[in-house]
């Protein structure tokens, strides 16, 4: 009994047990504090470099201040010497990187990383930690110019030398500047005074052969003395080319398609504002084109995405026929709508993301085909498609996927977060879906609703071969 009551030596035992853990915590604390110091110093150095980039660079030449930015970076990252390579607390860095221009926000990212050696790395089985910092250089020197549509028609028609005729109307902003158009949209070169807005030169005073938009543009305006193609302010009988950040606040119709250079952003202050063209394409090397807060109607001719990225965001509506090539992406976000309504659409080898937005196919588009595609639906996204072949789809966060009547579907589908897939309208042939259901996600067949296991870490796996036949494995 006296042995059991003896408490001598307990403190020593407890200390022996807890001391290694305490030492490990102290070691982690010391190294984390070193990482924090380097991270803060790195951010300060990047911020200093960003200032030089913003003051000396421009949208056309964002790296003009790179040399001074580099000096400021090392002066702040290595205060004792200002030499490149090593930094505070024996950290090392390769210096700053100036990224590409964000035309929409008129800025460039300036970033750097540093490797921080760990004093007690052997205890953590790790020799170092890499930290990063990013700043954004904004080019405030951009100026805005303005022009009247009637004046632009006059200037590009050699002061109205050729009466009312005009072949190509070019709206181009100078480098580093933004151009805002305003006033009635009409060509008065057939009248005695080009400034007048109450007379019309001819029956096509606001129609040209082709249009060209480039640079940073804001296309405001009021209707001229007449509209073209029934309801449009400005029309082209041939092609429109777009290269830049173009805000379209007037309805425009193009008879023969639109050609959009990669890197372009097409937007509007009114999401219902229409850019209407009969088909089109993305041109240039691999890159992206963005439709933001605007309605684009491509009608029945294909819009060729190629191997590029098409972004539809901020409540935009984009509809038409579409074709893709290997490596292409289509991203629908921010409450936008993407509508495919021509049987000539072929979306092959494309990565599709629909986030809090809608993808639709019209009833006439059962044979619009998505093949060899990766599809991601999230945040209550909805998607209705026609035939799918070799598709791999992931649905999350109460998203839903359905198919047009008679569609033939072959693919693999994974559902989480209470999402649903409706196969009740599928064809009775050439259909084979491998469906994995997590949590409360569901399959709606022609005869019943099949639910998942009810918990997020378990799943049911089904093979569905008709609109009403699903077999659980």
Q: What is the pLDDT at residue 193?
A: 59
What are the tens digits of pLDDT across the range 415-435? 999 999 999 999 888 899 999
Q: What is the pLDDT at residue 440?
A: 96
For 58, phi then psi, to 5°, come to -155, 175
For 285, phi then psi, to 5°, come to -70, 170
Rounded CA Rg of the chain: 31
Higher pLDDT, 353 or 59: 353
Residue pair 264/280 in contact (Cβ under 8 Å)? The answer is no
Q: What is the pLDDT at residue 167?
A: 80
Domain parsing of the chain, residue ranges: 8-137
- For residue 342, is pLDDT > 80? no
Higher pLDDT, 158 or 336: 336
DSSP 8-state secondary structure symbol assigned to residue 228: B
CA distance 289 to 244: 10
Which of 440, 445, 442, 441 lies closest to 423 in space, CA to CA? Answer: 445
Cβ-based neighbour number of residue 289 at 10 Å: 23
- Residue 22 in 3-state DSSP? helix
**Per mean pLDDT, which range of 220-229, 330-339, 412-421, 461-470 is the poorest?**
220-229
pTM (whole model) above 0.85: no
Torsion over CA of 27, 29, 30 and 31, rounded to 10 degrees? 90
- Strand locations in 6-127, DSSP E? 92-93, 97-98, 107-117
What would the mean pLDDT of 119-130 be, rounded to a whole number? 82
CA distance 263 to 282: 10
Q: What is the pLDDT at residue 200?
A: 52
Exposure letters 111-140 (e unless 16+ CB within 10 A, then b): bbbbbbebeeeeeeeeeebebebebbbebe
Which of 421, 363, 369, 414 lies closest to 392 in space, CA to CA? Answer: 414
What are the tens digits of pLDDT across the range 136-167? 887 755 566 778 887 888 788 776 666 666 78
Using DSSP bridges, classify how beta strands 168-172 and 210-219 pair: parallel, antiparallel or unpaired: parallel
What are the tens digits of pLDDT across the range 59-83? 777 887 888 788 878 888 886 655 6
Using DSSP bridges, classify how beta strands 409-415 and 97-98 pair: parallel, antiparallel or unpaired: unpaired
Which of 386, 403, 470, 405 lies closest to 435 in space, CA to CA? Answer: 470
């Amino acid at each position: 009994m006296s042995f059991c009551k003896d408490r001598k030596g307990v403190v020593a035992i407890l200390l022996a047990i807890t001391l290694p853990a305490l030492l490990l915590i102290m070691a982690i604390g010391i190294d984390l504090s070193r990482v924090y110091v380097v991270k803060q110093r790195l951010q300060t150095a990047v911020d200093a470099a960003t200032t030089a980039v913003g003051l000396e660079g421009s949208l056309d030449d964002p790296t003009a201040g790179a040399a001074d930015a580099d000096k400021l970076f090392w002066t702040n990252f290595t205060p004792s010497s200002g030499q490149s390579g090593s930094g505070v607390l024996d950290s090392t860095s390769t210096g700053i990187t100036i990224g590409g221009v964000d035309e929409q926000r008129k800025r460039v990212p300036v970033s750097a990383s540093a490797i921080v050696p760990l004093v007690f790395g052997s205890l953590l089985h790790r020799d170092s930690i890499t930290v990063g910092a990013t700043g954004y250089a904004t080019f405030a020197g951009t100026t805005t110019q303005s022009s009247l549509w009637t004046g632009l028609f006059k200037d590009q028609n050699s002061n109205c030398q050729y009466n009312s005729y005009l072949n190509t109307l070019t709206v181009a902003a100078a480098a580093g500047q933004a151009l805002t158009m305003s006033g009635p949209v009409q060509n008065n070169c057939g009248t005695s005074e080009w400034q007048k807005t109450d007379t019309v030169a001819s029956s096509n005073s606001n129609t040209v052969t082709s249009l060209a938009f480039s640079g940073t543009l804001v296309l405001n305006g009021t209707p001229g003395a007449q509209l073209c193609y029934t309801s449009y302010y400005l029309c082209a009988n041939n092609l429109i080319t777009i290269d830049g950040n173009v805000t379209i606040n007037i309805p425009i119709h193009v008879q023969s398609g639109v050609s959009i250079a990669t890197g372009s952003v097409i937007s509007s202050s009114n999401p219902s504002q229409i850019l209407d063209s009969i088909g089109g394409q993305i041109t240039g090397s691999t890159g992206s084109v963005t439709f933001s807060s605007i309605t684009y109607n491509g009608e029945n001719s294909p819009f060729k995405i190629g191997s590029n990225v098409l972004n539809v965001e901020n409540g935009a509506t984009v509809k038409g026929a579409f074709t893709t090539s290997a490596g292409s992406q289509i991203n629908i976000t921010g409450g936008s709508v993407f509508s495919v309504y021509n049987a000539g659409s072929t979306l092959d080898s494309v990565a599709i993301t629909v986030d809090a937005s809608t993808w639709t196919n019209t009833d006439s588009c059962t044979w619009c085909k998505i093949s060899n595609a990766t599809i991601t639906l999230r945040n209550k996204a909805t998607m209705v498609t026609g035939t799918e072949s070799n598709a791999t789809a992931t649905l999350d966060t109460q998203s839903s996927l359905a198919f047009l009547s008679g569609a033939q579907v072959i693919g693999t589908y994974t559902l989480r977060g209470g999402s649903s897939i409706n196969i009740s309208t599928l064809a009775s042939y050439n259909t084979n879906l491998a469906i994995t259901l997590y949590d409360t996600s569901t399959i709606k067949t022609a005869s019943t609703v099949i639910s998942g296991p009810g918990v997020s870490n378990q799943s049911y796996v089904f093979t569905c071969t008709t609109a009403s036949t699903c077999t659980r494995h």
